[in-house]
Structure 1
Amino acid sequence: FASSYALDPSIDTHQVFSNSYIGAVDEAEKNKGLTVFESGHKKSEKRKKVKGGDAKDIDNFLGPWARYIDEKDVAKPSEEEQKELDEITAKRQKKGRNEEDAPAEEKTILHVKDMYDYQGRSYLHVPQDVGVNLRSAEVPDKCYLPKKQIHVWSGHTKGVSAIRLFPGSGHLLLSCSMDCKIKLWEVYGERRCIRTFIGHSKAVRDICFNNSGTQFLSAAYDRYLKLWDSETGQCISRFTNRKVPYCVKFNPDEDKQNLFVAGMSDKKIVQWDIRTGEVVQEYDRHLGAVNTITFVDENRRFVSTSDDKSLRVWEWDIPVDFKYIAEPSMHSMPAVTLSPNGKWLACQSMDNQILIFGAQNRFRLNKKKVFKGHMVAGYACQVDFSPDMSYVVSGDADGKLNIWDWKTTKLYHRIKAHDKVCISALWHPHETSKVITCGWDGQIKLWD
């Protein structure tokens, strides 16, 4: 111990002033011979606190919570830390830059010679010479099983992800694809491709017509939702919140046609107003990406399903789900369809069955109606009903079209429809046996 010292034990310590030391003598002089137990340092000053005011004055009384007088509020990073931080932020900005932040340029191609017929009507006009009344509100009396393929619409270069019939009449068909394009086709007559809408830089995931069919929304992996004019093909507006939209739906109420909701990859359902382009509501309760939104109960409510394997029911414009359905045995349900009579929800479940939930007040699972026998695990194959509610149809992972009897849940019929996944099957609302399917082989087919 270099700086240790002690009193010299050979000298009688009782003699007055006999302070001779051994060891580090100069240290001893410096410390006035104090031992380790008598530390010479006076206790350091206690850090002063800001005076806490009077305990009677509740608002301004600080008491033991007062801060120290010399306390610093702001911690500034040292130079090295600052350098590191700058590098990180620079990297982050670079990352965001290579994804095209600007929306892709929109353009449209008209494939038919004349946009208008001799009476000046566009292709949105419902034809009346197709052998079935497309304007009637009545559903066909009895539906029959489709047997054979009668037409193929080809034009998409990659898989088709969704198809939608023109509202009400069903005389036009809208399709969106992984080739980033959206196409509009005739269902009757020559069944031509009428128009192509180009404006997404990545695969288009979902599409939705408004009630009149004059406009539609598209949702794509480029994180944009776009509103298009069905007739002129022009893009009216774009919406984004920097997340991927998985599904999009207009509010079906006539007086709310300016509002739409989209289920996003960040677990939220976001509601936009088309007139302002603003987000007007966020429904943020799901714990996984939102896959479907279905309006029920005269459009006062909607049902959403998500990767969190739950089904939630919401009142319109109230951002808290009033019903939450999740059983340990439940799987994710990435495709949901409301039955024509509005009483049932058919949900494609990832354990290879279609589950039926009541769509009115209780939203109970109907245990008697489970449709199985098809293979869908991993794919969001869209389900549909025949208009008279006698059949349920769905595609599957093997490219087959499956048709069940609604009453007995028996699997009646399987048709090999596509080479790859058959992702959607739609029953035409005015036809007794016409079903339209689309698949990841890029084809859309008509069955009768």
Structure 2
Amino acid sequence: MDLLYNAYADTSDQEEDGGVGEYMPRRPLPAPKKPRSEAYAPPQSPAPTVPLLPQDSGRYIPNRERAVLAAAASTAPAPTHLARPSSSAGFTSPGLGRYISKRERAVLAAATAASINSVPAPPNHPPPSTAVTSPVGSISHSDLPSDILTLLKCQKKVVAGKSRTPAKLSVSLNGHSSAVNCIQWSISHGHLLASAGMDGTVNVWNVWNRNQQKARVLRYHNAAVKDVRWSSDGLSLLSCGYDCSSRLVDVETGLETQMFKEDQTVEVVRFHPDNPNLFLSGGSNGSLKLWDIRVGTVVKEYLKGLGPILDVEFSSDGENFISSSDTSKSRISENSIIIWDVTRQIPLSNQVYTEAYTCTCVRYHPSDCCFIAQSNGNYIAIISARSPFKLDKYKRYENHGVWGFPIKCNFSLDGQQIASGSSDGCIYFYNYRSSELLRKVKAFEQACIDVAFHPSIPNVIASCSWTGEVSVFG
């Protein structure tokens, strides 16, 4: 054995020394290192005993692993603070400065994931609404004067031929910061008046309330409001405007219940006289749409390539409606006023008003078979509501001025008078039969835009101005 050892030793030594023939004694080989197991860890002070965690109750966990698990769960570091485990044998955990085995890393990662998942998610709050409703007053009639309350309860009707023109200012209502486009009395709650303004608000007024006349300020529209209408039960308001939408609001709570979005500025809305679930809208693209509130969609559409819709009005039976549109772009004056069949969606006549003016307002007579149209020619025309819908060329109501303002007109409850706003800030009262001017009442310094007779109290009329004022005469 010694001979074999020496022979092999010489050969190996010579090879290591590059073939040098001189004998060199063999250097002793270093003792092989003891392989370190993955579970090996330098000795340290014993970790405190930690109770077994619930998620690991199904198996035994040594004290060391429980200490690591408890430390990770208590500190709950964010995921970005943990280095991603690599394929190497181990890594140094931030803040510990020692080797961590794969087993400990797996336990640490599981504990961290569990602690992150256990953090409750923030509550899913709906985005804050930009709409603001201010119930600044009461809509109750409890604070009304006794004489007004008596008239409202009695629902007194005007006797034909006995009505007189209101001349005395009764109430002045201030709340809009810009022009008021439309006003309307509530039919079922006669002490309430709604107004739509260019300031983007709809105001509800408790007109004769002793303490606070402004009852609601509705700010659901994101732009100017063009029109507002009460529902037949007096519990809801439908408004439309430049934000390309119509909105239905519960008056009592002041909350919006439905929104009807369109691809056009909505200029005018009207409830169907027989079916309160239907309403008609007309907009800047010339489109007329009949909506069903129950499903929130369009059920009929009336198309004829019209200009912007200025006004619409249902007949009393709800079978027909009138539309007035701007024809300045198309230069086709025969389409300025059209009578439509509601069911068949077809025009019954489109040569009703052929003069070279647009009409800002159309209104049916309460009982006679005719309607009036407010012309930009500074007069009110009267037209038969029977086919062939003939214009009366021998009767006009003229003395007031329109001059490009969206001036509106209206019939009194008995149909014996016509009231019209005017660009000079006055209200003009005409005799329906003779077209004679009965009275001119100065209401505002600037244009009077809309007028509305009270639906039950005789000789009371509301009006609104281009400067944002609302006044009641009677």
1:132 is displaced (CA, Å) by 1.5
Q: Which residue of 2 aligns with 1:325?
A: 351
Q: Which residue of 2 aligns with 1:146?
A: 166
1:185 counterpart = 2:205: yes
Deviations, residues 31-56 of structure 1 (Å, cap 9, x unaligned): xxxxxxxxxxxxxxxxxxxxxxxxxx
1:388 is displaced (CA, Å) by 2.4
**Identical-pair percentage:** 28
What is the letter of the counterpart of residue 192 of structure 1?
Answer: Q
1:409-424 residue pairs with structure 2 within 5 A? 409-424=435-450
1:160 counterpart = 2:186: no
1:108 counterpart = 2:133: yes
Pick from 216, 224, 237: which aligns with 1:216? 237
Q: 1:327 to 1:215 in 2, by over 3 A?
A: closer
Deviations, residues 275-298 of structure 1 (Å, cap 9, x unaligned): 222222210114211111111151
Q: 1:104 to 1:315 in 2, by over 3 A?
A: farther
1:169 is displaced (CA, Å) by 4.9
1:10-409 residue pairs with structure 2 within 5 A? 105-112=130-137, 130-134=149-153, 136=155, 138-141=157-160, 142-190=162-210, 192-253=213-274, 256-308=275-327, 309=333, 310-409=336-435
Pick from 467, 470, 473: which aligns with 1:441? 467
**Runs of 5+ unmatched residues, structure 2:** 1-126, 328-332
Q: Which residue of 2 aligns with 1:57?
A: none
CA contact (8 A) 2:339 2:350 kept: yes
Q: Distance in 2 between matches of 1:358 and 1:103?
A: 52
Deviations, residues 266-320 of structure 1 (Å, cap 9, x unaligned): 1110122212222222101142111111111511111111112421111113222
Q: Distance in 1 between matches of 2:284 and 2:177?
A: 26
Q: Distance in 1 between matches of 2:415 and 2:386?
A: 17
TM-score (norm 2): 0.67
User: Where does structure 1 differ by over 6 angstroms across 4 or more consecutive aligned residues?
Assistant: 115-118
Q: Distance in 1 between matches of 2:370 and 2:128?
A: 39
Q: Which has a greater percent of helix?
A: 2
**Runs of 5+ unmatched residues, structure 1:** 1-101
Q: Distance in 2 between matches of 1:274 and 1:334?
A: 27
Q: 1:232 to 1:327 in 2, by over 3 A?
A: closer
CA contact (8 A) 1:130 1:189 kept: no
CA contact (8 A) 1:264 1:290 kept: yes
SS in 2 for 1:325: coil
Q: Distance in 2 between matches of 1:330 and 1:213?
A: 39
SS in 1 for 2:237: strand
CA contact (8 A) 1:103 1:224 kept: no
Q: Distance in 2 between matches of 1:117 and 1:375?
A: 37
Q: Distance in 2 between matches of 1:242 and 1:129?
A: 44
1:442 is displaced (CA, Å) by 0.8
1:129 is displaced (CA, Å) by 5.7
Q: 1:435 to 1:103 in 2, by over 3 A?
A: farther
Q: Distance in 2 between matches of 1:371 and 1:163?
A: 22
What is the letter of the counterpart of residue 226 of structure 2?
Answer: R
1:152 is displaced (CA, Å) by 0.3
What is the letter of the counterpart of residue 258 of structure 1?
Answer: N
Q: Distance in 1 between matches of 2:195 and 2:316?
A: 28
Deviations, residues 325-360 of structure 1 (Å, cap 9, x unaligned): 255424211111222225321210110010111234
CA contact (8 A) 2:171 2:208 kept: no
SS in 2 for 1:378: coil
CA contact (8 A) 1:402 1:413 kept: yes
C-alpha RMSD of matched pairs (Å): 2.6
TM-score (norm 1): 0.70
Q: Distance in 2 between matches of 1:359 and 1:137?
A: 29
